[in-house]
């Protein structure tokens, strides 16, 4: 497996919780295409035409509230291929040097930045200055300071900043959250998040400190960080962490191979998590309360997400994560819709503050307090 994209497998499919009636039309692409929608459509340009950008583009073909209308890439051949495949006009095509000119293009509402982590900060700020809504893939940046600068820039420009937290719309995940909020698990005691795969090509950007901002933590570990928050319904107040590195040639200074980290929460609940680029078969969340439990495995892959609780299997219809995400983003941008779990820049800064604290705990070997407010 050469990347997170390979590890997380093929097109995302998951389930719809019964309480999410408005999303029922996304049970499959046929139903989705038959839905009538006469509201405002979010017109999106994708920046970064790699494997995940391609996945998002494909998923958007089934959207009812969002449409792919533009591309930004440094590779002319990719631009031409996308133009042909998705019917994108020449006037909506840009490169990394001239994309500031989107400010003069009324046909683009938002730009989805799907480039290496280390580039998000500058690119999102440029998008904001061009007066367009910004969508950033996660992690939003390489540290909390840069993340806050992105939030501030978008606020100053009067545009919205959203982050590609597709799991925040995943129906089995939302059902677990609903059950927890309803008290069906009782007092939450413990969360476990395991995220990892064996990474391939040692020359790829994910193993480049400058481009990635780190190693496995910045790529796959963020799922356990974010998951610990929405699964428990609390924010961590301290962290301890330990790094293991077996291949110093592949995982150079500042590029983590494996980190185990532990959180403490205000209620007394604790979490034990693992982020790695050196082990396969790790994509599992487990939540334990004094009255019940929930397990998702796979928990964050593109699909199908599978889960069970003390009440039995979680069984809902199939959706494509990125299709639902982009349609939901349209509602957030145009109608100020409030998702069950936030997907805005402030949410992403919290994850970045936690990542900063994890790296500090690894470096010092000490328990580090976390302050998210």
Q: Which of 94, 165, 223, 230 is catalytic?
A: 223
List residues bridging with 285 in a β-sheet.
193, 296
Tell me the H-state helices in the chain: 4-7, 29-34, 51-60, 76-86, 117-129, 144-157, 171-181, 209-212, 216, 222-232, 321-335, 345-364
Please choose, from the candidates 195, 212, 225, 196, the residue with its C-alpha nearest in 3D space to the C-alpha of residue 143: 212
> Active site includes 277?
no
Number of H helices, E strands in the chain: 12, 15
Question: 138 an active-site residue?
Answer: yes
What CA–CA distance (Å, rounded) separates 197 from 284? 12
Residues 301, 352, 114, 231: what is their CA dihedral angle, to the nearest 10 degrees? Answer: 30
> Which of 229, 126, 214, 254 is closest to 168 using CA atoms?
229
**Contacts of residue 85, Cβ cutoff 8 Å, sequence gap at least 6:** none
Catalytic residue among 65, 132, 138, 353: 138
Q: How far apart are CA 345 and CA 351, in angstroms?
A: 10
Question: What tokens does 174 get?
Answer: 């939302």
Cβ neighbours around 297 below 10 Å, total = 16
Task: Give residue for tokens 């919290």.
Answer: 350
Residues labelled catalytic = 138, 223
């Amino acid at each position: 497996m050469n990347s997170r994209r390979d590890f997380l497998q093929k097109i995302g499919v998951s389930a719809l919780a019964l309480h999410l009636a408005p999303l029922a039309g996304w049970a499959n692409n046929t139903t989705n295409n038959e839905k009538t929608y006469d509201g405002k459509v979010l017109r999106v340009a994708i920046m970064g035409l790699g494997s995940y950008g391609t996945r998002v583009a494909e998923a958007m073909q089934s959207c009812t509230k969002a449409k792919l209308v533009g591309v930004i890439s440094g590779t002319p051949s990719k631009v031409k291929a996308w133009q042909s495949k998705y019917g994108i006009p020449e006037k909506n095509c840009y490169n990394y040097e001239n994309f500031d000119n989107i400010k003069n293009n009324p046909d683009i509402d938002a730009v989805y930045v799907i480039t290496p982590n280390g580039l998000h900060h500058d690119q999102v700020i440029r998008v904001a200055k061009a007066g367009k809504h910004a969508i950033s893939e996660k992690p939003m940046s390489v540290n909390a300071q840069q993340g806050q600068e992105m939030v501030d820039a978008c606020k100053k420009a009067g545009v919205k900043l959203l982050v590609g937290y597709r799991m925040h719309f995943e129906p089995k995940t939302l059902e677990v959250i609903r059950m927890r909020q309803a008290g069906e698990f009782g007092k939450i005691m413990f969360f476990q998040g395991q995220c990892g795969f064996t990474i391939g090509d040692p020359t790829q950007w994910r193993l480049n400190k400058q481009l990635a901002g780190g190693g496995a933590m910045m790529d796959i570990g963020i799922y356990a960080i974010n998951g610990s928050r929405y699964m428990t319904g609390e924010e961590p107040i301290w962290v301890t962490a330990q790094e293991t590195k077996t291949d110093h040639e592949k995982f150079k200074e500042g590029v983590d191979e494996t980190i185990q980290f532990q959180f403490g929460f205000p209620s007394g609940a604790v979490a034990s998590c693992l982020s790695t680029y050196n082990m396969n078969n790790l994509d599992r969340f487990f939540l334990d309360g004094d009255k019940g439990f929930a397990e998702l495995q796979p928990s964050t892959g593109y699909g199908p997400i599978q889960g069970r609780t003390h009440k039995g299997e979680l069984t809902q219809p199939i959706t494509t994560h990125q299709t639902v995400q982009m349609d939901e983003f349209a509602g957030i941008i145009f109608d100020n819709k409030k998702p069950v779990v936030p997907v805005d820049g402030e949410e992403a800064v919290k994850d970045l503050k936690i990542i900063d604290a994890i790296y500090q705990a690894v470096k010092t070997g000490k328990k580090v307090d976390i302050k998210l407010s």
